[in-house]
Structure 1
Amino acid sequence: MNAGPSPDQIRLDKIRARHGEASRDWTVDVKARGQRQLFARLLPGAALSPVATVTEECGWQDEEFLLHAHSDIEFLLRIYGRLVDRLAEKTRALACYEERPEKNYAAECAIKCGEPSFKKFLEECHGLDRPLTDERAATKVRSILGIGSRRQLNEDHAAAERWCDLRGHFDAWRRRG
Structure 2
Amino acid sequence: MLNSDGLALWREAGCGEWKATAAEIGHDLEMLEVPYTMVTACRFPLANSRSGQLRRGEEVRIARKDLTHLVRWMPSLKESTDNIPDDCPGWGFTIFQPKAEGIAATGFALAADWPVWTEKQARAAHLLCAVCDYDLRQRNDEDRLPYYIPLPEKPNRLRLVCGRCCNHGRDEMQRLASLAGNSA
- What is the TM-score normalised by the length of structure 1? 0.25
Which of the two has higher C-alpha Rg?
A: 1
**Higher RCO, 1 or 2 (CA under 8 Å, sep at least 6)?**
2
Compare the two structures and name the one with the higher helix fraction.
1
- What is the TM-score normalised by the length of structure 2? 0.25
